[in-house]
Amino acid sequence: MANWINTMKRMFIYNAERDFYAKHFPEVMEDESLLNLRVLRRIDIDQLIEIEKQVYGFPWSAQTFRDCMKIGYSCWVIEKLGDIVAYGIVSIAAGEAHVMNLCVDPQHQRKGYGRRLMRQLIAVALEERCRLILLEVRPSNEKAIALYHDMGFNEIGRRKDYYPAENGREDALLLGFELIADEADDDYFILNQDIDSEVMA
């Protein structure tokens, strides 16, 4: 019941600040100063579920998000004028980072939010001294694959029948992004220097 009430609130409660800017200053709506990159909170999960349903045919459940937070995965959102427009989750274990979810609200795609979040997840991996970042992606998700390749990820394998699909199962492409350590001074850096400069900016 609580989830249903929260959904109704988001649908019908008037957001005066957002609507004022959209009507009178549309150019400001893309102002980066209005964006807030922060850690995911439990109260955000209902918004994430709504985005999941719009983007994925087989969306995550609220319990899956709660489990990620409980386990201690690094969970981030990009917020704009009170609304979550993108989110990303990465797990860290045994010197490897694994991107579990990276998603952008369909109304806010092609604005660089996915790239911005991935840079944050890479920064988390660097801070945790990981040597490799992994992720799975559907072969049919061409836009996501293009973004990952552009950011330096390379295909390193394929997981058979990994995803549920309308006609059975779909394979997953396994992509990797390598981080290496300079043993001389024990500093970590990214092999792809273009990404390195963006992460550290």
N-to-C CA span, the chain: 43
Does the residue 5 lie in any domain? no
What is the model's pLDDT at position 7?
42
* Host domain of residue 162: 34-200
Q: Is the pLDDT reported for residue 5 higher than 50?
A: no
Which of 13-22, 154-163, 171-180 shows the lowest per-residue confidence on average (mean pLDDT)? 13-22
What secondary structure, in 3-state letters, does 32-49 show? HHHEEEEECCHHHHHHHH
**Phi first, then psi: what are they for 26, rounded to 5°?**
-60, -30
What is the model's pLDDT at position 135?
98
**Active-site residue identified among 52, 148, 163, 170:** 148
Q: How confident is the model at residue 182 (pLDDT cuts 50, 70, 90)?
A: low
**Active-site residue identified among 96, 136, 155, 178:** 136
Does the residue 114 lie in any domain? yes
Which of 71-85, 88-102, 119-133, 174-188 shows the lowest per-residue confidence on average (mean pLDDT)? 174-188
Please compute the mean of the pLDDT values over residues 115-124 and round it to a whole number.
94
How do residues 32-79 score in pLDDT, each as one tens digit?
678 999 999 999 999 999 999 999 999 999 999 999 999 999 999 999
> Which sign, positive or negative, has the C-alpha torsion 59, 67, 91, 199?
positive
What is the model's pLDDT at position 23?
54
Does the residue 24 lie in any domain? no
Does the residue 47 lie in any domain? yes
Q: How confident is the model at residue 18 (pLDDT cuts 50, 70, 90)?
A: low
Biggest CA–CA distance in the chain, Å, is 59
Are 88 and 120 within 8 A, CB to CB?
yes
Q: How confident is the model at residue 179 (pLDDT cuts 50, 70, 90)?
A: confident
Q: How far is the C-alpha of 201 from the C-alpha of 192, rounded, in Å?
A: 15
The reply to whether 198 belongs to the active site is no
Rg (the chain; Cα; Å) = 18
How many independent structural domains does the chain possess? Answer: 1
Q: How far is the C-alpha of 100 from the C-alpha of 91, rounded, in Å?
A: 7
Q: Is the pLDDT reported for residue 21 higher than 80?
A: no
* DSSP secondary structure string for all residues of 84-140: EEEEEEEEEETTEEEEEEEEE-GGGTTSSHHHHHHHHHHHHHHHTT-SEEEEEE-TT
Does the residue 4 lie in any domain? no
Query: In sequence order, which residues have a C-beta less than 8 Å from that of residue 139 and are 6 or more positions away?
Result: 145, 170, 171, 172, 173
Does the residue 11 lie in any domain? no
Domain CATH number, residue 77: 3.40.630.30
Mean pLDDT (the chain, rounded): 82
Q: How remote is the C-alpha of 183 from its chain's centroid?
A: 31
Q: Is the pLDDT reported for residue 194 higher than 70?
A: no
Does the residue 94 lie in any domain? yes
The reply to whether 155 belongs to the active site is no
Parallel/antiparallel/unpaired status of strands 96-104 and 132-137: parallel
The whole-model pTM stands at 0.77
Does the residue 86 lie in any domain? yes
